[in-house]
Amino acid sequence: METEKKRSLTGNKAMSEAIRSEMERDENVFVLGEDIGEYGGIFGSTEGLIKQFGPERIMDTPISETGFIGAAIGAASEGMRPIAELMFVDFFGVTMDQIYNHMAKIPYMSGGNVKLPMVLMTAVGGGYNDAAQHSQTLYATFAHLPGMKVVAPTTPYDLKGMMISAIRDDNPVVFMFHKTLQGLGWMDQLDTSIGQVPEETYSVPLGKAKVIKEGTDVTIVGLQMTTHFGMHAVKELEENGINAELIDLRSIVPLDKETILRSVKKTGRLLIVDEDYKSFGISAEIAAIVAEEGLYDLEAPIKRLAIPDVPIPYSRPLEQYILPNAEKIVQAATELANE
Amino acid sequence: MAKKQPVDFEALMSSLEALYPMVQILDKDGNIVNEDIMPDLSDDQLVELMERMVWSRILHERSMALARQGRLGFYAPTAGQEASQLASHFAFEKKDWLYPGYRDIPQLIQHGLKVSQAFLWSRGHVEGNNYPEDLNAVPPQIIIGAQYIQAMGNAVGQKLNKSDAVTFTYTGDGGSSQGDVYEGMNFAGRYKAPIVFFIQNNGYAISTPREKQSAAKALAQKAAAAGIPGVQVDGMDPLAVYAVTKQARDWAAAGNGPVLIETITSRFGPHSTSGDDPTRYRSQESFDYWEQRDPLVRFRKFLTTKGLWTEEKEEEIIEKTMEEIKEAAKEADQAPKQKISNFLKSMFNEPGQNIQEQIAKYEAKESK
Ligand SMILES: Cc1ncc(C[n+]2csc(CCOP(=O)(O)OP(=O)(O)O)c2C)c(N)n1
Ligand SMILES: [Mg+2]
């Protein structure tokens, strides 16, 4: 009997493979955005696709975010399944009207008659020295506005499976991928940015968190880079005798409350780690949910690690100083476990 | 019988094209091809313009080297664009306001920014954005197109203030597709604001070639919809760039409103120093074609023939510039270390409770 070969892919290759397989399956799927053709996307999400599908289905657009996101909305309302790439999430400012007044509201305002089966994929995050207007995650900015699913997978496996789900979803999905988890040669190399990805098509549901490691002493909730840091932190905590549970959110809207509440019930202690601004962010939302629905399960006040209310510094040491990391998680989780 | 069409679209389109011929004075071999429109520049001024262009090329080469050594952060190469950048800037006055893009560091320095500050900007040090009182400029824009509307606002303000200065701003061929660019021109046209808009058409927006930006044959024709003059100029020809810019500045300063200038130019190198390999999307022929049109080569030939330029003179400028850059890099190294607490303090005149707490937290950490 032939043994199945295990295959490792980087985050970007997992994404482009997902798009490729859906484009092969459904001719309504096409991609549009800046530098997605020959360049393969600044962060590699469309690598190699132009060769197979040509410029009609892999469209390098003018620099006009309002233009191509509006175009995706128009095409989606006619039954196409466009994937628009916003090069950096930070550029949403140029085109927010199309995103939140139209993409997020047309299905609702038409009483559900107009579906917008589109994906808005966008690169998020910092940690590689790219300054205030190119390093934000803005998870909560999008999640705050009703009408769109917002997902942020961490591993290559989930990047592929959730991209496939996002393309097949009949709702607009904002698909955030973290630049440093794409596994690109010119970035820092991280163990999490490469992982096993089956060759066949599979889907990972949107709206489900994943328990990466089970534990009993403290719950750590992260997503993307903070999950990556969490993976390293839980090992160290283990060595120090603290058995932490690590949850990878994967999806922000819909949020998997159940998995978080179940975990807090078990551990009684919650640390939320977010690479977004602290005020009014995901960490605040999760803390509020636990306060509303799981307060009596808590044995200590909730802790949050997130970015202070200041734009991301360009300077590498200062950026590293404000970003969450494994060491900060170990410290906070240890304090929490001992409270 | 086939009825006549109400409008002859083809004739309309080709008449449009004819409105935007590329203005040229110096051809690629340094010969004057358009004596009639030679700008009024003294020998000294011609030499000074050449000096600035040589200075800019050296600044570029040293910046590439410094970036490789990790002594600079973000850097957008400028080689090839010297005429487009320095000869346009040459037509403005110190009192005029500059709204640059990320590639327009040479103009910014010529306008009064210290080289060391330009380096600090590149490294993300806030001192790089701490402009001297007499420098009428804002830091380089990186969100494509945004500078056009802000520059327009500055010019509308100048008009309200009855200032006799003008505003000038730059974007690229890619940037010309952004809605902001049209909105800036339209608004400025409506108020006859004193501003000169530049589109430096260097053929590419990262990997995307110019043809993919617009069906417009000339990007300069975008001015027509805003009701303002648009001109296409040979951006490798310093004399043409200067002559057209000077005319546009005078026009704007006289209260006639804005002008759009498209310079046809080329970037010889990668888009930026962050990982771009231009051979992925650009052919060797394209590099060769444009290098034959190098603005330094043609201006050097022209000035040498006139007896205004020698190899020794050029060597002298190069030496001087290298020294200047070495000093500037050293000075930049000496900038004080930045602190998160200071960043937090600069967020608001009076920080609220939340930020005050964060300042205290970071000050405690920083003093450890
Ligand atoms: C709103 C916005 N969209 C996209 C980008 C990413 N981006 C940075 S430079 C660039 C290309 C700009 O090309 P062009 O305007 O021709 O200027 P050039 O770089 O050639 O000088 C792009 C797409 C950005 N910075 N801002
Ligand atoms: Mg360009």
Give the pLDDT confidence of B165-189 residue by residue, as tens digits. 999 999 999 999 999 999 999 999 9
> For this structure, is B148 an active site residue?
no
Q: What is the pTM of this model?
A: 0.95
Cβ <8 Å between B338 and A313: yes
Residues B343 and B268 in one domain: no
Same domain flag for B76 and B225: yes
Query: Contact, A330 vs A237, CB < 8 A?
Result: yes
Min Cα separation A286/chain B (Å): 19
Residues B306 and B359 grouped into a single domain: no
Closest ligand 1 atom to residue A42 Cα is: 6
Q: Which of B68, B343, B368 to mutate to test the interface with A (most CBs of A within 10 A)?
A: B343
Atom of ligand 1 nearest to the CA of B103: 21
pLDDT band at residue A252 using 50, 70 and 90 as cut-offs: very high
CA B278 vs CA A32, B68, B201: distances in Å: 21, 17, 16
Range of the domain at B354: 339-368
CB contact under 8 A, B207 and A60: yes
Burial label for B342, CB within 10 Å (0-12, 13-18, 19+), is middle
Which residues have any ligand 1 atom within 6 Å of their CB? A 34, 63, 65, 87, 91, 94; B 103, 142-144, 171-175, 202, 204-206, 271
A134 part of the active site: yes
Q: Are residues B344 and B332 in the same domain?
A: no
- For residue B151 the two structure tokens come to 């520059």
% residues pLDDT > 70 (chain B): 100
How many structural domains comprise chain B?
Answer: 2
* B302-331 pLDDT per residue, tens: 999 999 999 999 999 999 999 999 999 999
Indicate the fold that domain A210-337 takes in CATH: Rossmann fold (3.40.50)
Please name every residue paired with A210 in a beta bridge, in sequence order, or none if there are none: A248
Instruction: Kindly report the protein residue whose alpha carbon is nearest to atom 17 of ligand 1.
Output: B172
**Among partner residues A62, A93, A315, which is closest to B177 by beta-carbon distance?**
A62
Looking at the fold, whether B354 and B325 belong to one and the same domain comes out as no
Read out DSSP for A108-143? Answer: HHTTT-S----EEEEEE--SSS--TTSS---HHHHH
Same domain, B213 and B183: yes
Task: Name the active-site residue from A102, A134, A178, A228.
Answer: A134
Q: If we measure between CA atoms, which residue out of B65, B247, B245 comes closest to residue B168?
A: B245
Task: Please check whether residue B10 lies inside any domain of the structure.
Answer: no
- pLDDT for B344: 93
pLDDT at A5: 66
Q: What pLDDT is attached to residue A186?
A: 86
- The Cα A272–Cα A19 span in angstroms is 32
Distance CA B232, CA A9 (A): 48
Rounded CA-CA distance B325/B336 in Å is 19
Closest to B359 measured CA to CA, from A281, A308, A311, A316: A308
pLDDT at B368: 85
| Residue B50 banded pLDDT, cuts 50, 70, 90 | very high
Shortest Cα distance from B200 to chain A (angstroms)? 15
Domains of chain A by residue range:
8-196, 210-337
What pairing do the DSSP bridges indicate for beta strands A218-222 and A270-277?
A: parallel
* Tens of pLDDT, residues A285-333: 999 999 999 999 999 999 999 999 999 999 889 999 999 999 999 999 9
Residue nearest to atom 13 of ligand 1 (CA): B205
| B318 and B358 fall within a common domain | no
Q: What are the residues whose beta carbon lies below 5 Å from ligand 2 (ion)?
A: B 172-173, 202, 205
Residue B44 lies in a domain: yes
Same domain, B267 and B349: no
Does the beta-carbon distance from A38 to B343 stay under 8 Å? no
Does one domain contain both B296 and B363?
Answer: no
Across the interface, do A64 and B177 touch by the CB < 8 Å criterion? yes
Q: In whole angstroms, give the CA distance from residue A56 to residue A40.
A: 15
Judge whether B3 lies within some domain. Answer: no
| pLDDT, tens only, A52-99 | 999 999 999 999 999 999 999 999 999 999 999 999 999 999 999 999
* Peptide linkage before B229 cis (omega within 30 of 0): no
Element (H, E) at A234: helix A225-239
Which residues of chain A form beta strands (DSSP E)? 8-10, 29-33, 58-60, 81-88, 119-124, 149-151, 173-178, 194-196, 210-213, 218-222, 244-248, 251-253, 270-277, 303-307
B12 alpha-carbon distance from chain centroid = 32
Cβ-Cβ contacts under 8 Å, B362 against chain A: 308
User: Over 80: is that where the pLDDT of B1 sits?
Assistant: no
Q: What is the mean pLDDT of residues B229-238?
A: 98
Residue A3 pLDDT exceeds 60: no
Cis peptide before A301 (omega within 30 of 0): no
- The atom number, within ligand 1, closest to the CA of B200 reads 21
Determine what percent of chain A is predicted with pLDDT higher than 70: 99
Establish if B344 belongs to a structural domain.
yes
- Note the pLDDT of residue B275: 82
- Decide if B73 and A186 are in contact by the 8 Å CB cutoff: no
Contact A63 B354 (CB under 8 A): no
What amino acid occupies position A135? S
**What tokens does A130 get?**
């790219």
pLDDT per position as a tens digit, A107-158: 999 999 999 999 999 999 999 999 999 999 999 999 999 999 999 999 999 9
Specify the residue with its C-alpha closest to ligand 1, atom 20. Answer: B205
**Extended beta strands in B189-312, E state:** 195-201, 204-205, 208-209, 230-234, 259-264
User: CA–CA separation, B90 vs B88, rounded Å?
Assistant: 5
Which residues of chain B have a CB within 8 Å of the CB of A39?
Answer: 206-207, 280-281
Q: Choose the residue to mutate in B103, B144, B147 for probing ligand 1, maximizing ligand atoms within 8 Å of C-beta.
A: B144
Co-location of B145 and B108 in the same domain = yes
Establish if B304 belongs to a structural domain: yes
Ligand lying nearest the CA atom of residue B202: 2
* Mean pLDDT of all residues in B39-44: 98
Q: Are residues B48 and B93 in the same domain?
A: yes
Architecture category of domain A8-196 in CATH: 3-Layer(aba) Sandwich (3.40)
Q: What's the pLDDT at B2? A: 73
CATH fold match for the domains A8-196 and A210-337: yes
Identify whether B166 is part of a domain.
yes
Does the pLDDT value for residue A1 go beyond 70?
no
Q: What is the pLDDT of residues A223-247, one digit of tens each?
A: 999 999 999 999 999 999 999 999 9
CB B98 within 8 A of CB B136: yes
Q: What is this model's ipTM?
A: 0.93
CA of A126 to the centre of ligand 1 (A): 19
Interval A182-226: pLDDT, tens: 999 888 889 999 999 999 999 999 999 999 999 999 999 999 999
Relative to the CA of B143, which ligand 1 atom is closest?
26
pLDDT of B198 strictly over 70: yes
Residue B7 within any structural domain of the chain: no
| Nearest beta carbon to residue B206 from set A39, A66, A310 | A39
